[in-house]
């Protein structure tokens, strides 16, 4: 009879380790519990850097509606990846614009230097002025491009967060049934 009791109390778990950026740590903690996962431990491995954290989750292997919960979890992960991609694209496009302006400024200053070495002072001055502007303006281009891209992407990012909340709500409802 003791064996029957022990078998009924046995719970098999499945485990999942996730490494995420530190700014997404809270959303993973809050959301993964809706898919039946319980946070066991979190750590910050030095090899991954300061900006990331590894979270260890576990859940009952025999959880009800496991297939649907797994599908919703994949949808959640896809939404998070899309948000991360959009956040990165803001910085990437602004950086490309700024680097391009900086390279053009550098090319103009190189032309100015070669003009000076060839004793073409007028051409040297004509190339140096836009060259220095090409070194000053990238900061302002970066800021303005970032702000424009941010304004364009924020509604899309907010929409993805709304989708995440809906997915988590459906998953939570499945756990309760």
pLDDT digit string, tens, across residues 149-177: 999 999 999 999 999 999 999 998 888 76
Q: What is the percent of the chain where pLDDT is above 90?
A: 60
Verify that 42 and 86 share a domain, yes or no. Answer: no
pLDDT digit string, tens, across residues 76-103: 999 999 999 999 999 999 999 999 999 9
Verify that 2 and 37 share a domain, yes or no. Answer: yes
Verify that 74 and 154 share a domain, yes or no. Answer: yes
Does 35 fall in a domain? Answer: yes
Task: Classify strands 38-43 and 13-21 as parallel, antiparallel or unpaired.
Answer: unpaired
The whole-number average pLDDT for the span 96-116 is 95
Element (H, E) at 59: strand 52-60
Residue 51 phi/psi, 5-degree rounding, is -80, 5
The single-letter DSSP state of residue 89 is: H
| Residue whose C-alpha is closest to residue 45's, from 14, 20, 72 | 20
As given in the structure block, the two tokens for residue 64 are 């009800």
Which residue segment(s) compose the domain that 15 sits in? 1-63
pLDDT at residue 47, rounded to an integer: 62
Q: For all residues of the chain together, what is the average pLDDT?
A: 88
Does 177 fall in a domain? Answer: no
Does 176 fall in a domain? Answer: no
Verify that 78 and 1 share a domain, yes or no. Answer: no
pTM confidence score: 0.77
CA distances in angstroms from 45 to 33, 51, 115, listed in the order given = 23, 10, 53
Q: What is the percent of the chain where pLDDT is above 70?
A: 92
pLDDT digit string, tens, across residues 2-39: 444 455 677 788 888 888 888 888 899 989 999 888 98
Of 9, 41, 63, which one is at a domain's C-terminal end? Answer: 63
């Amino acid at each position: 009879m003791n064996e029957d009791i022990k078998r009924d109390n046995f719970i098999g778990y499945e485990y999942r380790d996730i490494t995420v950026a530190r700014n997404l740590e809270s959303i993973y903690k809050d959301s993964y519990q809706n898919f039946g996962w319980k946070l066991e431990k979190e750590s910050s491995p030095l090899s991954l850097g300061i900006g990331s954290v590894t979270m260890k989750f576990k859940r009952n292997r025999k959880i009800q509606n496991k297939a649907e919960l797994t599908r919703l979890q994949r949808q959640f992960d896809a939404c998070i990846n899309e948000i991360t991609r959009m956040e990165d694209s803001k910085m990437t496009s602004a950086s490309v614009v700024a680097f391009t302006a900086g390279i053009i400024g550098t090319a103009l200053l190189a032309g100015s230097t070669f003009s000076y070495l060839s004793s073409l002072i007028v051409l040297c001055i004509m190339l140096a002025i836009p060259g220095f502007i090409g070194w000053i303006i990238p900061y302002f281009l970066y800021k303005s491009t970032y702000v424009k891209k941010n304004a364009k992407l924020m509604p899309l990012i907010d929409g993805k967060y709304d989708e995440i909340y809906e997915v988590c709500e459906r998953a939570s409802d499945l756990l309760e049934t």
